[in-house]
Chains A and B, each alone.
Chain A
Amino acid sequence: MDGPAGATRAEPETTKPQMPSSHPATAPEPAPKVEAEGRRAKTIEVRDVNLFYGDFHAVEDVSVKIEPNKVTALIGSSGCGKTTFLRSLNRMHELTPGARVEGSIELDGQDIYAKGVDPVQVRRLVGMVFQSPNPFPTMSVYENVAAGLNLNGSRVKKGEKDEIVERSLRGAHLWDEVKDRLDRPGSGLSGGQQQRLCIARAIAVEPEVLLMDEPCSALDPVATLAIEDLIGELKSRYTIAIVTHNMQQAARASDVTAFFNLEQTGKPGRLVEIGATETIFTSPSEQATEDYVSGRFG
């Protein structure tokens, strides 16, 4: 159900919260960068996945393919399981006591829940950025970005580490703002800067997929747009899935949109429809999708 993706990105000056259907798809499909940095963004293939918290059935029968070098937005009303689903993609869901996953989730053909697979390894390949920026308070900006390397005990020489930190901070559009204060605590930055720091930290370990759970919901509109621009750039090197409450953001920043819905509280959430963002917002196939995107509920 995923059609060709047109990049529905509008110019920052004219956009602001407008209805998505007024932005035609103009950019051609970006060619996936296969050789960039010797690492390729990978596909996540999800088949018949059901997610539970103990006996509570949270998400039901999801099958979806998250394409490389594209931004997939997961939208839907509160409590319908989008975040739960996202967290199952990097094996964070199971950290909640009693939580379990049924079904198959494959990263480039390898089942990440197979017996003998180390969840720590999976999380190195599938990175995550959280809703509230959470830099480590005991570490400086430099140490935060390098945390992925330091915490894993990898022996990286100082010079190489400096390079990685600079590259990640540049990649997150934060380098110029912090290059003179790399030794100061990470928590001293503004909200938008902290979130970009968390993004830099996530990309410093060179994951193949980047998951973002409402990364802009704690930020002001200017910072939000900066992060959305960043996401647009990052997709050329990573596979990105982003959960968002903000439909306009989904329309602005994503190529593919997946709509989750709850029939009723207490019932599990389902994936109702997935398709090119343009299509979902202008002519969705399901009535529920149509109702949600046109603001009739949610």
Chain B
Amino acid sequence: MQAPVDTPPLLAAPRGGPLWRRKLVNRVMTGLIVLAFVVALIPLFSLLFEVVKRGLPGLDWEFLTGTPRGVVGGGGAAHAIVGTVVITGVTAIISVPVGILAAIYLTEYGEGRLRRWLTFFVDVMTGIPSIVAGLFAFALFAIFLGPGIRLGLMGAVALSVLMIPIVIRSSEEVLKIVPNHLREASYALGTSKWRTIVKVVLPTAFAGLVTGVMIAVARIVGETAPLLVTTGIVDSINTNPFEGRMQNLAVYAYSEYRTPGVMKQASYDRAWAAALTLIAIVMILNVVARLVYRRYKTEIR
């Protein structure tokens, strides 16, 4: 048996002692982590700053409501704003039902190998480059309608290819979170499976589903490449996705920069303003998503 050792003095933190060393390491690591965080944020803030600085001057009433004036250039981006809204709307109409129904299948019905293969391919699809989606839509419509076609609908199809996998993935996650005991409670009452899904599972998952859709929309609203090849560049307001070219904010920013009018600076200003508008739209969508989530979320014990 050893003689008992005296308890070392607790309050002293001598230089070089273990406590002092731990504190030092703690402080160094905290500093490094904060530094990394700041570095990661710098591009974001720098970008926001630039866009706001350069876009704000161009953001006037004429920009928001006017349309381009002739070859000389000038005018506004109303056609682009309308186009963005229409294309995004049609994309959502296609993608949301398909995406959510697919997610329901994968969560509630899918089994075994089919389900695993489907999930794998959905994951692959989330990585498709946007230009590829654009070319796909272009080729598809070219087969049926001839190669010269430009349609708002084509752009929506291209964006759907990009949006659907995102909706599926996020909806799947949300549906999986709905606890099984709620489904069982519904079955025990003598409710069929599809009714259980529609009246119990979906309402419970509602807030999460909406958030997922909003995020997916925010992701595709700024896509340029697929729209260049599918909806083209045009100068007038077109609200009909089934006919003719349609302008869109991202493409507008590109075309104003690429082919500026006689007053170059004004064109550039408008391009920046379009970019700012896009960012504003995405921000608004995110805020709405958060509000909806907070209002409708169900506290599941």
Residues of A within 8 A of B (CB): 90, 92, 95, 97, 120-125, 127-128, 130, 132, 134-138, 147-148, 150-153, 187, 198, 201-202, 205
Contacts and interface: CB of A to CB of B under 8 A. Distances in A.
Contacts of A187: 299, 301
A205 B200 CA distance: 17
A132 B299 CA distance: 16
A198 B187 contact: no
A188 B193 CA distance: 27
13 contacts: A90-B188, A95-B187, A120-B191, A123-B188, A123-B189, A123-B191, A125-B190, A134-B185, A136-B185, A138-B203, A147-B189, A148-B190, A151-B191
A117 to B, nearest CB: 13
A123 B187 contact: yes
Nearest 9 pairs of A and B residues by beta carbon: A124-B190, A128-B188, A123-B190, A137-B298, A148-B189, A151-B191, A138-B203, A134-B185, A134-B181
Nearest to B181: A134
B7 interface: no
Interface in B47-101: none
Given A136-B200, A137-B298, A187-B299, A130 B185 contact: yes
Nearest to A194: B301
A152 B195 contact: yes
B192 interface: yes
B111 interface: yes
Given A97-B111, A137-B204, A137-B298, A151 B186 contact: yes
Interface of B: 111, 181-182, 184-192, 195-196, 199-200, 203-204, 206, 298-301
Contacts of B298: 137-138
Contacts of B196: 151
A202 B190 contact: no
Nearest to A147: B189
A92 B206 CA distance: 26
A191 to B, nearest CB: 10
B127 to A, nearest CB: 31
Contact of A150 (B190, B199, B206): B199
Contacts of A120: 190-192
Contact of A138 (B189, B190, B204): B204
- Candidate in B181, B186, B189, B195 with the most chain A CB atoms within 10 angstroms: B189
A139 to B, nearest CB: 8
Nearest to B207: A138
A205 B185 contact: no
B188 A130 contact: yes
A136 B183 CA distance: 9
- Candidate in B187, B188, B200, B204 with the most chain A CB atoms within 10 angstroms: B188
Contacts of A90: 188
Contacts of A136: 182, 185-186, 200, 204
B200 A151 contact: yes
B208 to A, nearest CB: 12
Given A137-B298, A138-B204, A187-B301, A202 B111 contact: no
Nearest to B185: A134
Given A138-B204, A151-B200, A95 B190 contact: no
A134 B187 contact: no
Contacts of B181: 130, 132, 134
B190 A153 contact: no
Nearest to B204: A138
A121 B192 CA distance: 9
Contacts of A127: 188-190
Contacts of B189: 123-124, 127, 147-148, 151-152, 201-202, 205
A202 B199 CA distance: 17
A90 B185 CA distance: 12
Nearest to B112: A97
Contacts of A97: 111
A128 B192 CA distance: 15
Contacts of A148: 189-191
Contacts of A134: 181-182, 184-185
B78 to A, nearest CB: 41
Given A147-B189, A205-B190, 8 more contacts: A92-B187, A92-B188, A120-B191, A120-B192, A135-B185, A136-B182, A138-B206, A151-B186
Contacts of B199: 150-151
A125 B190 CA distance: 8
A130 B111 CA distance: 26
A130 B187 CA distance: 12
A120 to B, nearest CB: 5
Nearest to B198: A151
A93 to B, nearest CB: 12
A205 B299 CA distance: 26
Contacts of A122: 190
A289 B199 CA distance: 45
Nearest to A129: B188
A179 B191 CA distance: 26
A121 B189 CA distance: 9
Contacts of B299: 137, 187
B184 A95 contact: yes
